[in-house]
A and B are shown apart, each in its own frame.
Chain A
Amino acid sequence: MASLGYFTLLATFLVAVYAATSSAVGARRGSRRLIESGIGAFYLITALMTLASTVIVHAFVTGDYTIKYVQRYSDSAQPLFYKLTSYWGGLDGSIMFWVTLLSVFGSIAVYVNRERHRELIPWVVTTISTVQLFFLFLMIVHNNPFDTFLTSAPTDGRGLNPLLQNYWMVIHPPSLYTGFVGMTIPFAFGIAALITGYLDDAWLRAVRRWTMFAWLFLTFGLTLGMIWAYEELGWGGYWGWDPVENAGLLPWFTATAFLHSVMVQERRSMLRVWNVTLVILTFFLTIFGTFMTRSGVVQSVHAFGEDKELAWMFTVFMAVILTVSFGLVIYRLPLLRARNELDSWASREAAFLVNNWILLFSAFFILFATMFPTLSEALTGERLTVGPPFFNRWMTPIGLILLFLTGVGPLLAWRKSSASNLLNQFAWPTTAAIVTTVVLWAIGLRVWTSGICFGLCGFVAGTITQEFWRGTLVRKNSTKSDVLTALIGLVARSRRRYGGYIVHVGVVLIFLGFAGEGYKQEEQVLLKAGQQVKVGRYTVRNDAIRISDDGRKQMVTSYMTVFDEGKEVGKLYPARWFFRKHESEPTTEVAIRRSISEDLYVVLAAYTVEDQTGSFQVVVNPLVNWIWLGFGVLALGTGIALLPERAFSYALARLPPEAPLPATAAPLVMLFLLLGSWAPLRAQEAVLPHEQLEQTVLLVPKTELEKDLHRSIICMCGTCGRKSLAECTCSEAARMREEIAGLASQGKSRDEIIQYHIDKYGSQEPLAAPIDRGFNRLAWLLPYALGAGGLVVAAFAAVRWSRHAAAAPKVADEASDSSAELEARLDDELSQLD
């Protein structure tokens, strides 16, 4: 079985080489056949990786301990669940898991966009395949998960590290990887756009959703990591600024920045270089994070040991990424020029800009501080280290500024906010902030950073409430419905905007949790049986320490009674578990008494059974549960923002789901599975009776003619980024669809209706593509002619080059130069056509 796995990897490598090359060559030559075969090969990678994954999972389940990886990370006593998840328990397997995920995501992205972004697809395939090639190469030469024992294979495995035998730890890596790997897709589209020169907003539209999807999983992964650290590691906190944690946070900052700045490009055609840069940086940081934690460059409690060879391979790969990507950016600078300038600092785009700077600064600060020991050793020879206090001192104000901007951004208008506008917008949120701060101060909660944080939370909550309230009122009046219907309709109409606000609510809740940290109380004590300790309002008494065994592990448990203000409120059982084969590494089983206002957190750190004594760490963690709750709200908001447009319009029109749900609904389905979140579904149901009336006519084309027209005419409202009528959801698009329906019902033909639009707007602007006729046909033909010409020249050059290569290399240079020049011209013309 192991050799089947290894051969599958080898085969995948070859297929990936083919996919990358044939797509690139196909794109250069404009050969549809080559491109199609490249895409086919790309899908094949997914199939092969699925096969390889099946082989390793099979080996885990059947206990094939001849495979080193299986032997190291599982054993026969492990429950099936952990056997399955041991797949990504170690380095080799996690690399394979990475490639598998990437192939699946890549295939979905290519399949979904193969028609809409035809010109980008071959380069997307090439880019993703190249990334896959790197990881496949790693597996083949260095980290083969199918490596076997040559002689005397052990009969049982060493077992998965007990620390990792935890539900959160099982779903944490896949979630984090989903986030990391998902960031490759935007990168691939970005690179494709740079290569082809199709640098309008089309590629952004293709990747926006992916970025959001990957961002959600990245956030989820980070949150799971926090929960795991909190529940399993037992040091009383959830974030320790460990390099491994930081590695996940770095791309999170740049991705968050991208999700915001992309709006500025859509609205105002600004920040184009910036957005491409952010996409590249995000991808780079996912690779860099992997490098940092896997190569032993940075010392960490859970780094995976030093590995010089791996470090070198990653370094080379990262150098290639940076050179190629930024080389392309510089080459395309003329096409990336902004079409607008910043009008005023009191504008939303300025707020986004500041938010971006701070997010990027955070990423670089964390990178710098994480690498500081390594850097200082390299520069001065002295190893200097910085600890969590250093991170906290910097990240606390940065976090507070970001929270403040979260509240400010939505209050500012695009372009420029007038003074009266500012007053009108800021009055209520500011009042909310002041009231919150004063009330908390009066109650006696006086930790100043937490106080500011609470105040800002009030401010942001005020902003969001105001946005919802005003939007709802407007909608209520225009649709003449009740408040609730108007609210749901409002969210349904602009899902990205209001989904985004709900994400902000989640962020506020998370910050509440962070602020609670300021009121943390902690005691470390040694308690004999019957002794007790008081922490905050709780008193905890050690009743006894007992030992038990369940066959897989020995458990030392302390039986404790908890008193709240002197009244007995319950029992707690902190414990230490000694798993078989891992007796020297007992796990800490924290006992937590949860409540919405605070957690009582008790750790049994050490014990002696004979005199019934234990050392305990007793912590009162206020508000910590708000962090997890906040994540739930954040996921809900992202889910709303991710809701696919078409699925939504079908649902609203109550059409039978004859049209298959677009593949973009996949993340949605996953999300619902993940959260068991039924709320938005319910919201959709509730919205039906009212929405149906006004929209059945507007959104759903009745005839083939209308459907065709919706695709060929774009929305002319000027803010939707030239979306076709079939896609656009704004009110102007609705009006235009209605107009088309009217014209069609008058018996007008396709050409007549198109001519009507050309006359109405005075140009061919409302058309999604120039009319394929007469002079326009020339415009269609020109690029093809030029492409064919370029190919002929390239072929000619190639023939000459191969003939004279040995004799006169100088001639060859000239020939390739001229073809390069021609290609450059070709690219320019192609891009101007758009």
Chain B
Amino acid sequence: MKYKAIKIGLTSVVLLLSFGGLLWSTLSEETQYYKHVDEVMTAPAQWEGKRLQMHGFAKSVMQKRGTLEYAFQVENNGHAVWAQFTGIAPDTFKNDSEVVLEGELKGEIFHAERIIAKCPSKYEPKAGAASVSGTY
């Protein structure tokens, strides 16, 4: 009986440790910091090269003619940074729309790999539209 208890105990410890370890290692690789633009831009050096989800408002959205390349600013509380993105942007990605950008800050420019349109009103539509400022 005692032997069995030890066996079960050891098995559980090993299982728990290995799962915990796996969880920890994958978590540290896969997690991203969720920050607002002003939090990042007050100390940009600290965030250089780290995976970020950056929350802010899109400004001066421009699309390069004939491509899927976008250049725009994200702004929050008076701090702003230039960002670039290539690919299909969500519908709600326009001037003044609230966005979360997934990517990395490299130098002066935030390289976004994904744009998530923050849309708290998804089920409660609001009126008012914004549009792309122009092309470049």
Q: Which residues of A contact B (CB under 8 A)?
A: 72, 90, 158, 161, 163, 301-302, 304-305, 361, 372-373, 376, 382-387, 389-390, 393-394, 524-526, 528, 581-586, 588, 603, 605-606, 613, 615, 617
Check B46 for interface membership: any CB of A closer than 8 A: no
Residues of the A chain whose Cβ atoms lie less than 8 Å from the Cβ of B33: 382-385
Residues of the B chain whose Cβ atoms lie less than 8 Å from the Cβ of A361: 19
Are A525 and B68 neighbours in the complex by a CB distance under 8 Å? Answer: yes
Residues of the A chain whose Cβ atoms lie less than 8 Å from the Cβ of B34: 373, 382-385
Residues of the B chain whose Cβ atoms lie less than 8 Å from the Cβ of A382: 33-34
Nearest Cβ on chain A to B70's Cβ, whole angstroms: 11
Known: A524-B88, A617-B88. A584 touches B30 (CB 8 A): no
Are B102 and A387 neighbours in the complex by a CB distance under 8 Å? Answer: yes
Check B129 for interface membership: any CB of A closer than 8 A: yes
Instruction: List the A residue with the shortest CB-CB distance to B28.
Output: A384
Q: How far is the CA of A390 from the CA of B24 in the complex (A)?
A: 12
Are B88 and A390 neighbours in the complex by a CB distance under 8 Å? Answer: no
Check B116 for interface membership: any CB of A closer than 8 A: yes
Q: Among B26, B35, B89, B125, which residue has its beta carbon within 8 angstroms of that of A585? A: B125
Q: How far is the CA of A361 from the CA of B18 in the complex (A)?
A: 14
Residues of the A chain whose Cβ atoms lie less than 8 Å from the Cβ of B35: 383
Residues of the B chain whose Cβ atoms lie less than 8 Å from the Cβ of A383: 33-35
What is the size category of the interface that chain B forms with chain A?
20 to 34
Check B124 for interface membership: any CB of A closer than 8 A: yes
Residues of the A chain whose Cβ atoms lie less than 8 Å from the Cβ of B123: 90, 161, 302, 304-305
Are A615 and B27 neighbours in the complex by a CB distance under 8 Å? Answer: no
Are A585 and B91 neighbours in the complex by a CB distance under 8 Å? Answer: yes
Closest 8 CB pairs of A and B: A383-B34, A390-B30, A605-B88, A384-B31, A584-B129, A385-B34, A524-B88, A524-B87
Instruction: List the A residue with the shortest CB-CB distance to B34.
Output: A383
Are B68 and A301 neighbours in the complex by a CB distance under 8 Å? Answer: no
Q: Among B19, B68, B91, B102, which residue has its beta carbon within 8 angstroms of that of A586? A: B91
Nearest Cβ on chain A to B57's Cβ, whole angstroms: 16
Residues of the A chain whose Cβ atoms lie less than 8 Å from the Cβ of B32: 384-387
Check B17 for interface membership: any CB of A closer than 8 A: no
Are A524 and B102 neighbours in the complex by a CB distance under 8 Å? Answer: no
Residues of the A chain whose Cβ atoms lie less than 8 Å from the Cβ of B88: 524, 603, 605-606, 615, 617
Q: How many A-B residue pairs have CB under 8 A?
A: 83
Nearest Cβ on chain A to B97's Cβ, whole angstroms: 10
Residues of the B chain whose Cβ atoms lie less than 8 Å from the Cβ of A588: 91
Nearest Cβ on chain B to A225's Cβ, whole angstroms: 15
Are A161 and B120 neighbours in the complex by a CB distance under 8 Å? Answer: no
Residues of the B chain whose Cβ atoms lie less than 8 Å from the Cβ of A615: 68, 88
Are A583 and B116 neighbours in the complex by a CB distance under 8 Å? Answer: no
Identify which of residues 111-125 in chain B touch chain A, using a CB-to-CB cut-off of 8 Å: 116-117, 119-120, 122-125
Check B127 for interface membership: any CB of A closer than 8 A: yes
Residues of the B chain whose Cβ atoms lie less than 8 Å from the Cβ of A613: 66
Identify which of residues 4-51 in chain B touch chain A, using a CB-to-CB cut-off of 8 Å: 19, 26-27, 30-35
Check B73 for interface membership: any CB of A closer than 8 A: no
Q: Among A305, A581, A606, A617, which residue has its beta carbon within 8 angstroms of that of B124? A: A305
Q: How far is the CA of A324 from the CA of B129 in the complex (A)?
A: 51
Are B125 and A302 neighbours in the complex by a CB distance under 8 Å? Answer: no
Q: Among B27, B89, B125, B129, which residue has its beta carbon within 8 angstroms of that of A606? A: B89
Residues of the A chain whose Cβ atoms lie less than 8 Å from the Cβ of B124: 72, 305
Most buried by A among B19, B53, B68, B116: B68
Q: Among B27, B66, B125, B128, which residue has its beta carbon within 8 angstroms of that of A161? A: B125
Sample (13) of A-B pairs whose CB atoms are under 8 Å apart: A301-B117, A301-B119, A301-B122, A304-B123, A361-B19, A384-B31, A385-B53, A390-B27, A390-B30, A393-B30, A584-B125, A585-B125, A606-B89
Are B122 and A302 neighbours in the complex by a CB distance under 8 Å? Answer: yes
Are B30 and A387 neighbours in the complex by a CB distance under 8 Å? Answer: yes
Nearest Cβ on chain A to B55's Cβ, whole angstroms: 9
Instruction: List the A residue with the shortest CB-CB distance to B32.
Output: A385
Residues of the B chain whose Cβ atoms lie less than 8 Å from the Cβ of A606: 88-89, 91
Given A526-B67, A526-B68, A588-B91; 7 other pairs, CB 8 A cutoff: A301-B117, A302-B123, A373-B34, A383-B34, A383-B35, A386-B30, A393-B30
Q: How far is the CA of A583 from the CA of B127 in the complex (A)?
A: 8
Residues of the A chain whose Cβ atoms lie less than 8 Å from the Cβ of B102: 387
Q: How far is the CA of A389 from the CA of B117 in the complex (A)?
A: 19
> What is the 8 Å Cβ interface bit string for chain B, positions 75-117, against chain A (1 contact, 0 not)?
0000000000001110110000000001000000000000011
Instruction: List the B residue with the shortest CB-CB distance to A585.
Output: B125
Are B122 and A161 neighbours in the complex by a CB distance under 8 Å? Answer: yes
Nearest Cβ on chain A to B28's Cβ, whole angstroms: 10
Are B31 and A385 neighbours in the complex by a CB distance under 8 Å? Answer: yes
Are B127 and A301 neighbours in the complex by a CB distance under 8 Å? Answer: no
Are B116 and A301 neighbours in the complex by a CB distance under 8 Å? Answer: yes
Residues of the A chain whose Cβ atoms lie less than 8 Å from the Cβ of B26: 390, 393-394
Instruction: List the A residue with the shortest CB-CB distance to B67.
Output: A526
Are A305 and B120 neighbours in the complex by a CB distance under 8 Å? Answer: yes
Residues of the A chain whose Cβ atoms lie less than 8 Å from the Cβ of B125: 158, 161, 581-582, 584-585
Q: How far is the CA of A384 from the CA of B24 in the complex (A)?
A: 13
Are B31 and A386 neighbours in the complex by a CB distance under 8 Å? Answer: yes
Q: How far is the CA of A721 from the CA of B96 in the complex (A)?
A: 66
Residues of the A chain whose Cβ atoms lie less than 8 Å from the Cβ of B30: 386-387, 389-390, 393
Nearest Cβ on chain B to A405's Cβ, whole angstroms: 16
Q: How far is the CA of A372 from the CA of B27 in the complex (A)?
A: 10
